[in-house]
Amino acid sequence: MTSKANIRVRPKETEQEIDEKGYFVRQKNHFTVPFGDGEGKLPVEAGRYRLIWAKGCHWSNRASIVRELLGLEDAISINLVGRGKHEQNLGWEFVYNENQTDPVLGVQFLSELYANGDPDYKGRPTVPAVVDVTTGKVVNNDYVWLTNYLEHEFAPFHQAGAPDLYPSELRTEIDRYNDFLFDNVNNGVYKAMFAQSIEAYNDAFDHLYRALDSIEERLADSRFLFGDYVTDSDVRLFVTLARFDTYYFKNMGPLRNRIVDFNNIWGYARDLYEIPAFKNNTYLRDLAKSNGDTSTIFIDYNTRFWAQIDYEGLWSAPHNRQEKSADPEHKFQTRQ
């Protein structure tokens, strides 16, 4: 569908997204036209779109979880990208497919689909990316709202009895809390990992742990963030928690606490992991795998112990979170 000229070297965050004080300032999403009815919106149609995501990327992982939770597998197709070995970093590639080529879209690199959507695009080709299979163009990469579109605009294609992750009576509160999670937790870990000044790092670190402390307190008497049932906010928090002790810790500097050191948060994370859509879309061992340098005296933790750690066992350990719910047998509220 595209020319190899559309394969582009991936820009580096530490060169393109750092301000004058050393703070990481994430690039803005480029394809933000919303899904919905009416002029100027992307039509909501079953079979028209393909969701591209990556195991390591929590921004895209939450979309893959919500897609499965809602039973949208037949309405929206899906594929994974990863990193291939090249002389230069060419970004996300369809490394899990034969000939490293997406069988539906006929391309090797995500950047080709971004170029289809906008030939002048100069930013990082990111996931999640929603591609219109009729044109081969990326039409939406707006992780901020994508799960909400799946929950609301794509409701006609939900499976019977699908959970209501974005209930109308909580929508304003969920949006507000999602902003808090983005700034302090979801993007907060990246603010610390990409910080290029100690001032920026300390600021991100402090905001992150203040947020985690507040979440630990919030979960003391509540099974999930908004009470007895899983909402969109829980998906957004979970994907960061799943990566914290398995991967992020390597680049976070001296940790005040691991996730396993927060009694309520750790039990909450395991409670969510029991749900098939969460477990099926969370590749813990892949997240933790390291290709570290083994020629030095000091070898990183994941390289030394990756094969010896029972990630599935750790995340499947019993918990008592159901005791905090007035409806302990159910984790979801269905749409009224």
Give the catalytic positions in this structure: 57, 190
Which residues contact residue 254 at a Cβ distance below 8 angstroms, ignoring those fewer than 6 apart? none
Tokens of 99: 């000939």
CA distance 31 to 303: 37
The answer to whether 108 and 100 are in contact (CB under 8 A) is: yes
Question: Are the C-beta atoms of 234 and 271 separated by less than 8 Å?
Answer: no
Identify which of 119, 163, 114 has the alpha carbon closest to the alpha carbon of residue 136.
Answer: 114
Q: Is 218 exposed, middle or buried (0-12, 13-18, 19+ CB in 10 A)?
A: middle
**In sequence order, which residues have a C-beta less than 8 Å from that of residue 272 and are 6 or more positions away?**
230, 234, 238, 278
Q: Which residue has the tokens 């928690």?
A: 241
Q: Enumerate residues 6+ apart whose C-beta is below 8 A from 118.
A: 30, 31
